[in-house]
Structure 1
Amino acid sequence: MCVAVPVEIVKIDGTEAWVNFGGVQKMVSIALVEDVKVGDYVLLHAGCAVSRLDRKEAEKTLELFKAYTMMQKE
Protein backbone atom coordinates (compact mmCIF):
# COMPACT_ATOMS: atom_id res chain seq x y z
CA MET A 1 0.00 0.00 0.00
CA CYS A 2 1.23 3.50 -0.84
CA VAL A 3 0.59 6.38 1.51
CA ALA A 4 0.95 10.09 0.78
CA VAL A 5 1.13 12.40 3.78
CA PRO A 6 0.28 16.09 4.09
CA VAL A 7 3.26 18.32 4.84
CA GLU A 8 3.63 22.09 5.14
CA ILE A 9 6.05 24.00 2.91
CA VAL A 10 8.43 26.05 5.09
CA LYS A 11 11.10 27.16 2.57
CA ILE A 12 11.40 26.98 -1.22
CA ASP A 13 14.60 26.71 -3.27
CA GLY A 14 13.78 26.31 -6.98
CA THR A 15 12.16 22.91 -7.54
CA GLU A 16 12.92 21.77 -4.00
CA ALA A 17 11.41 22.77 -0.69
CA TRP A 18 11.86 22.21 3.00
CA VAL A 19 8.70 20.76 4.51
CA ASN A 20 7.53 20.18 8.06
CA PHE A 21 5.87 16.94 9.14
CA GLY A 22 5.21 16.63 12.84
CA GLY A 23 8.21 18.77 13.75
CA VAL A 24 10.57 16.97 11.38
CA GLN A 25 11.91 19.01 8.46
CA LYS A 26 13.02 17.44 5.21
CA MET A 27 14.01 18.60 1.70
CA VAL A 28 11.63 17.32 -1.01
CA SER A 29 10.96 17.84 -4.70
CA ILE A 30 8.12 20.19 -5.65
CA ALA A 31 8.75 19.88 -9.41
CA LEU A 32 5.38 18.16 -10.01
CA VAL A 33 3.23 20.84 -8.33
CA GLU A 34 2.85 24.34 -9.80
CA ASP A 35 2.74 27.62 -7.87
CA VAL A 36 3.65 26.24 -4.44
CA LYS A 37 4.16 28.90 -1.77
CA VAL A 38 5.53 28.89 1.77
CA GLY A 39 2.68 27.93 4.10
CA ASP A 40 0.96 25.71 1.51
CA TYR A 41 0.25 22.07 2.28
CA VAL A 42 1.12 19.38 -0.25
CA LEU A 43 0.71 15.63 -0.35
CA LEU A 44 4.14 14.00 -0.14
CA HIS A 45 4.91 10.56 -1.55
CA ALA A 46 8.38 9.06 -1.91
CA GLY A 47 10.10 12.42 -1.50
CA CYS A 48 7.96 14.21 -4.10
CA ALA A 49 5.06 16.58 -3.62
CA VAL A 50 2.28 15.17 -5.81
CA SER A 51 -0.54 17.69 -5.24
CA ARG A 52 -1.55 20.72 -3.23
CA LEU A 53 -3.98 20.32 -0.34
CA ASP A 54 -6.00 23.00 1.43
CA ARG A 55 -5.13 23.65 5.08
CA LYS A 56 -8.43 22.33 6.45
CA GLU A 57 -8.13 19.00 4.61
CA ALA A 58 -4.45 18.68 5.60
CA GLU A 59 -5.22 19.25 9.28
CA LYS A 60 -8.10 16.76 9.16
CA THR A 61 -5.83 14.12 7.60
CA LEU A 62 -3.05 14.76 10.12
CA GLU A 63 -5.55 14.31 12.97
CA LEU A 64 -6.59 10.95 11.48
CA PHE A 65 -2.93 9.85 11.29
CA LYS A 66 -2.46 10.91 14.92
CA ALA A 67 -5.57 8.99 16.05
CA TYR A 68 -4.43 5.89 14.16
CA THR A 69 -0.98 6.09 15.76
CA MET A 70 -2.53 6.37 19.23
CA MET A 71 -4.72 3.31 18.54
CA GLN A 72 -1.65 1.29 17.55
CA LYS A 73 0.01 2.10 20.88
CA GLU A 74 -2.91 0.71 22.92
Structure 2
Amino acid sequence: MCLGIPGEVVEIMTDRPDLAQVDVSGVRRAINIGLLEPGEIGVGDWVLIHVGFALSKIDEAEARAAMDFLKSIGDAYTDELAALQNSKID
Protein backbone atom coordinates (compact mmCIF):
# COMPACT_ATOMS: atom_id res chain seq x y z
CA MET A 1 0.00 0.00 0.00
CA CYS A 2 1.33 3.43 -0.85
CA LEU A 3 0.29 6.31 1.34
CA GLY A 4 0.89 10.02 1.35
CA ILE A 5 3.13 10.89 4.25
CA PRO A 6 3.75 14.35 5.73
CA GLY A 7 7.24 15.79 5.83
CA GLU A 8 8.75 19.07 7.02
CA VAL A 9 10.83 21.02 4.53
CA VAL A 10 14.30 21.58 5.98
CA GLU A 11 16.04 22.93 2.86
CA ILE A 12 15.23 24.06 -0.67
CA MET A 13 18.09 22.93 -2.88
CA THR A 14 19.77 26.03 -4.33
CA ASP A 15 21.26 24.19 -7.29
CA ARG A 16 18.00 22.30 -7.99
CA PRO A 17 15.00 24.50 -7.10
CA ASP A 18 12.66 21.63 -8.05
CA LEU A 19 14.03 19.62 -5.08
CA ALA A 20 13.69 20.06 -1.35
CA GLN A 21 15.21 18.20 1.57
CA VAL A 22 12.44 17.02 3.92
CA ASP A 23 12.38 15.38 7.33
CA VAL A 24 9.88 12.58 7.96
CA SER A 25 10.17 11.27 11.51
CA GLY A 26 13.94 11.75 11.49
CA VAL A 27 14.47 10.40 7.95
CA ARG A 28 15.79 13.09 5.60
CA ARG A 29 15.44 12.77 1.84
CA ALA A 30 15.29 14.92 -1.26
CA ILE A 31 11.84 15.11 -2.82
CA ASN A 32 10.55 16.76 -5.96
CA ILE A 33 8.52 19.92 -5.34
CA GLY A 34 7.95 20.69 -9.02
CA LEU A 35 4.21 19.96 -8.78
CA LEU A 36 3.74 22.95 -6.47
CA GLU A 37 3.67 26.59 -7.51
CA PRO A 38 7.11 28.26 -7.44
CA GLY A 39 7.65 29.93 -4.08
CA GLU A 40 4.67 28.13 -2.52
CA ILE A 41 6.76 26.34 0.08
CA GLY A 42 9.77 27.22 2.17
CA VAL A 43 11.84 25.91 5.04
CA GLY A 44 9.59 24.96 7.95
CA ASP A 45 6.54 24.24 5.78
CA TRP A 46 4.87 20.84 5.74
CA VAL A 47 4.06 18.93 2.56
CA LEU A 48 2.21 15.73 1.75
CA ILE A 49 4.62 13.37 -0.04
CA HIS A 50 3.76 10.48 -2.32
CA VAL A 51 6.34 8.47 -4.33
CA GLY A 52 8.95 11.18 -3.94
CA PHE A 53 6.75 14.12 -4.95
CA ALA A 54 5.25 16.85 -2.79
CA LEU A 55 1.57 16.82 -3.71
CA SER A 56 0.39 19.71 -1.56
CA LYS A 57 1.32 22.05 1.23
CA ILE A 58 -0.39 21.21 4.51
CA ASP A 59 -0.44 22.90 7.89
CA GLU A 60 1.36 21.49 10.92
CA ALA A 61 -1.86 20.39 12.64
CA GLU A 62 -2.89 18.39 9.56
CA ALA A 63 0.61 16.89 9.37
CA ARG A 64 0.50 15.81 13.02
CA ALA A 65 -2.99 14.29 12.59
CA ALA A 66 -1.84 12.38 9.51
CA MET A 67 1.28 11.09 11.30
CA ASP A 68 -0.79 9.99 14.31
CA PHE A 69 -3.14 8.12 11.98
CA LEU A 70 -0.27 6.49 10.07
CA LYS A 71 1.40 5.39 13.29
CA SER A 72 -1.90 3.88 14.47
CA ILE A 73 -2.14 1.61 11.42
CA GLY A 74 1.26 0.10 12.08
CA ASP A 75 2.78 -1.83 9.18
CA ALA A 76 1.69 0.58 6.44
CA TYR A 77 3.44 3.45 8.25
CA THR A 78 6.56 1.37 8.87
CA ASP A 79 6.62 0.25 5.24
CA GLU A 80 6.23 3.82 4.01
CA LEU A 81 9.10 5.05 6.21
CA ALA A 82 11.28 2.19 4.99
CA ALA A 83 10.47 3.06 1.36
CA LEU A 84 11.33 6.70 2.01
CA GLN A 85 14.58 5.77 3.74
CA ASN A 86 15.61 3.58 0.81
CA SER A 87 14.65 6.09 -1.86
CA LYS A 88 17.01 8.53 -3.50
CA ILE A 89 16.47 11.37 -5.94
CA ASP A 90 19.56 12.72 -7.68
Q: Classify the TM-score, shorter chain.
A: 0.7 to 0.9
Equivalent AA in structure 2 for residue 31 of structure 1: G
- For residue 18 of structure 2, what is the aligned residue in structure 1? 15
- For residue 4 of structure 2, what is the aligned residue in structure 1? 4
Between Structure 1 and Structure 2, which shows a larger proportion of strand residues? Answer: 1
Gaps of 5+ in 2: 76-90
Please identify runs of 4+ aligned residues in structure 1 that moved more than 6 A.
Answer: none
Residue 37 (structure 2) pairs with residue 25 (structure 1): no
**Structure-2-length-normalised TM-score:** 0.72
- Percent identity reads 37
**Structure-1-length-normalised TM-score:** 0.86
Residue deviations 1:27-62 (CA, integer Å, cap 9, x gap): 010011121111111110111101111110110110
Please point out which of 41, 54, 57 is paired with 2:59: 54
